[in-house]
Chain A
Amino acid sequence: MTTPLDRIRNFSIVAHIDHGKSTLSDRLIQETGGLTSREMKEQVLDSMDIERERGITIKAQTVRLNYKADDGLDYVLNLMDTPGHVDFAYEVSRSLAACEGSILVVDASQGVEAQTLANVYQAIDNNHEIVPVLNKVDLPAAEPDRIRAQIEDVIGIDASDAVLASAKTGLGIHEVLEAIVTRLPPPKGDETKPLKALLVDAWYDAYLGVVVLVRIFDGRLKVGQKIKMMQTGAVYTAERLGVFEPKATMVDSLGPGEIGFLTGSIKEVADAAVGATITDERKPTDEPLKGFKDVQPVVFCGLFPVDAANFDDLRAAVGRLRLNDASFTYEMESSAALGFGFRCGFLGLLHLEIVQERLSREFNLDLIATAPSVVYHINQRDGSTIELHNPADLPDVMQIESIEEPWIKATILTPDDYLGAVIKLCQDRRGVQRELSYVGSRAMLIYDLPLNEVVFDFYDRLKSISKGYASFDYQLEDYRKGDLVKMSILVNAEPVDALSMLVHRDRAEGRGRSMVEKMKELIPPHLFVIPIQAAIGGKIIARETVRALRKDVTAKCYGGDASRKRKLLDKQKAGKKKMRQFGKVEIPQEAFIAALKMDED
């Protein structure tokens, strides 16, 4: 397939969460005839079940659009729809590296939000040309003029020819397409040079095996060509090449500026690492691409199979998932109570939840996730420092000189009405205010916050106290010493190490209380009374009790009921696999994370 460079446009769609990126993608696909209206469904690119259920994009997706522009020429537009949630920012950064321009979608009623800022600054860092699109102008609350001014004020880019659009009604879609063609630059590249392609994404397909998404920078990639992964040196043959329109269409070759997929019996997950450079085996390029910057996971937790016998399945599953999600890390660990599992790193709690859910759905695994933790630096009396990923590994207090915890710089935008509540939340979470300014009528707060106060439920809390209006973004700042102590949770007098955590001494009691209250709700009644306690060292700081079961017996049980009851017991046996036994107590798998989501006033 040969498309002249000046007929190609590669662009990402970036925005704050829910501003309409995926819906706009729908309209662009429809307008250019990629799918018939019968094949179309809402947010068609959100193909994973979890994406559709939660109504959010998790994975960036690429589609090739064939567009005949008003100038009468045919263009190939490669669209990359990206996620908006802060936990998936890595997906955005990968997409930006594969394009020359960005469509910045801003909800014309909500205006600039925290992720609008974070994502547009990333696009600017990538030297992208940016076309602002004011979406949702069909809403009665839309104020395009005010939002246009806000974009200029706050972001500092020219928004005078921002496109007014409604991804819902289809208004302005043609203008968006024309803006892409006329305002975004075509890619650069040289077909005569050796092949140089960027590995943008990879996933495992049951029929095709490992599939990789590539962006060609120089040279040409052809079916049958021997290619080399520059970072690992591995050599494969390009077996199939194709593009997503959005249905997969096979092609014979991909030239400079083009984006498409490749299969080649790739066995090693390491050979399909995103950010890798692919070149020709015989005539390799001498300069590999910059690749992607490594991501640092900020939240860690242990993942264990509910049934210890399934460890090998879990090992295979984390490997395959990692192929598709480079922002997730894993390392084997073992726990006294839970056996073998993996200590996994994530970009945030939503990311953790999604990975856990994908593992259980896509690989049919029942998992237990232990309490999430950030990475602490433990300065020991002997002068050494260790990185602590798992609170259960905390050395004896006598050996500890001090503990340092990660702090972040948080940017929060909120309507004035909720400012008081948001400030209170930040103060309660040991935050230090750095800045308070206004973006139009909205307050912009900059806070330093300890990450361990943020990872569990800060985002949920912020959303609930602001009725969904406040938005939030953060960056890791530095490590600071803190008065941190290890809190253990005892269920029926036995410590459950999967629930232990480091907390600030001043916050321990409140945390302990809400943990035991939550556990009380989550542990179903047993035949006996179950005490639940939170403790620091030997001292109990909070306690609750799960009452004993009082009534559980079938009223009628005669000759016809025996088979039914036996089948019910078989079902219960299966259900029991979703519980984990701690001493005499069974704890449901979801309790481990649910316990950390607190409902404070």
Chain B
Amino acid sequence: MTDLPTLGVYVHWPYCARICPYCDFNVALDRRAGEAEALADAIVRDLQTQAALIGPRRLVSIFFGGGTPSLMDPARTARIVETAKSLWPAAPDLEISLEANPTDAESGRFAAFAGAGVTRLSLGVQALDDASLAFLGRNHGAEEARRAARLAARLFPRLSLDLIYARPGQTPGAWTDELKAALDLGAEHLSPYQLTIEAGTPFDRSVRRGAFAPADPDLAAALYEKTQQILEDAGFAAYEVSNHARGAAARSRHNLVYWRGEDYLGVGPGAHGRLTLADGRTATETARAIPDYLASVGATGTGLTVQDALNPVEAAEERLLLGLRIDEGVPLADLEALTLTRLPDLRTQGFVQVKDGRLIATARGRPVLDRVIAELIL
């Protein structure tokens, strides 16, 4: 059974208690009576239908992302997990992750999620002071988040914390203190993200109005370097641009599926998948709006609206833009469809290196990786 192709499963749970002003994920407020129940049922059915499409696999991870999956009834989480396990044989080290918001209400359900099989909690702490949390529009305080983190550290085998930095007015000194304080919360995995102003969000409008300005590139670079240095000193390896883990076992198995170009299947509204099928690598996508998703599953058994075969160039471009984000890089063999005209230049300039047949972004290349990738592809 070990020689079966592997599979990760992404489950999108779109509901949030409140919509944060920076967020451009596919999210919704839970307003329609009975909809969440119907969605959980639809997800189960979608899993079954898509399973028939892809054939036998070995299940290596399930990821509940959102939205806010910690708002889900844990019994439904359990049912989805059981369904997946019944469809594919699970690897012994199967990882089951769930994204959670650190409110007291949700912490109260952590034990139940652990009981449902969740092995790894990804907690959206975002900031460690109340003023910043208010700025970010979060519905929890800093102390509440610390409590949730300490509890999660006890209940789950693995814990990761999300932080958002390079907030307006944040100095390198203040960020250093905050990051060090986050290190004390007992997580072996940290995902510090620089605040991104996403098009169409309330923050985007605020910036256009001039209400606040995002960090300028010099400050952003300084904060990024600071982050690398502090976490490295604390024994956390930067195994991806914004992901740091203490020890190989703490790395996110599921997210590595993406960055390594392995197969994953997506269920729930607006979920993406990448599957290696008979006619090559296929990009899948489900209906984005909840009612559309429900209608699609009702009519066809699956929420899939897109099944695009990627041509070799597109597939290689994806490998490059995801693979260069991780420390192990990407095998050159996966990039054969690309001409990579600028590769020799970029190597000489020290933005990338080639080691054991793999193309890897250097410490110099990572902060400007988007440009490096553009240079390589264009």
Contacts and interface: CB of A to CB of B under 8 A. Distances in A.
Interface of A: 527-528, 549-560, 562-563, 565-566, 569, 572-573, 576, 584
A555 B194 contact: yes
Nearest to A559: B258
B266 interface: yes
Nearest to B371: A552
Given A569-B378, A572-B378, A551 B220 contact: yes
A559 B274 contact: yes
Interface string B318-346: 10011001000000000000000000011
B258 A558 contact: yes
A565 B351 contact: no
Interface of B: 10, 193-196, 217-218, 220-221, 224, 241-242, 255, 257-258, 264, 266, 270-274, 283, 285, 314, 317-318, 321-322, 325, 345-346, 349, 351, 366-375, 377-378
B264 A566 contact: no
Contacts of B195: 555
B283 to A, nearest CB: 6
Which secondary structure dominates where chain A touches chain B? Answer: loop
Contacts of A553: 241, 366-370
17 contacts: A527-B375, A550-B221, A550-B367, A550-B368, A552-B367, A552-B370, A553-B241, A553-B367, A556-B242, A559-B273, A560-B10, A560-B266, A565-B321, A569-B321, A569-B374, A572-B378, A573-B377
Given A527-B349, A549-B368, A559-B272, A573 B218 contact: no
Contacts of B345: 584
Nearest to B166: A555
A554 B370 contact: yes
Contacts of B273: 559
B272 A563 contact: yes
Which secondary structure dominates where chain B touches chain A? Answer: helix
A557 B324 CA distance: 11
A551 B374 contact: no
A552 B351 CA distance: 13
Contacts of B349: 527-528
A394 B339 CA distance: 40
Nearest to B264: A559
A528 B348 CA distance: 12
A549 B370 CA distance: 11
Contacts of A565: 321
A562 B321 contact: yes
A554 B324 CA distance: 12
Nearest to A558: B258
A559 B321 contact: no
Contacts of A576: 378
Contacts of B274: 559, 562
A371 B255 CA distance: 51
B241 A555 contact: yes
B197 to A, nearest CB: 11
Give the residue among B242, B370, B378 with the most A Cβ atoms within 10 A.
B370
B294 to A, nearest CB: 20
A341 B260 CA distance: 47
Given A553-B368, A553-B370, 10 more contacts: A527-B346, A550-B217, A550-B220, A551-B221, A555-B194, A556-B196, A557-B325, A559-B266, A566-B317, A569-B373
B266 A550 contact: no
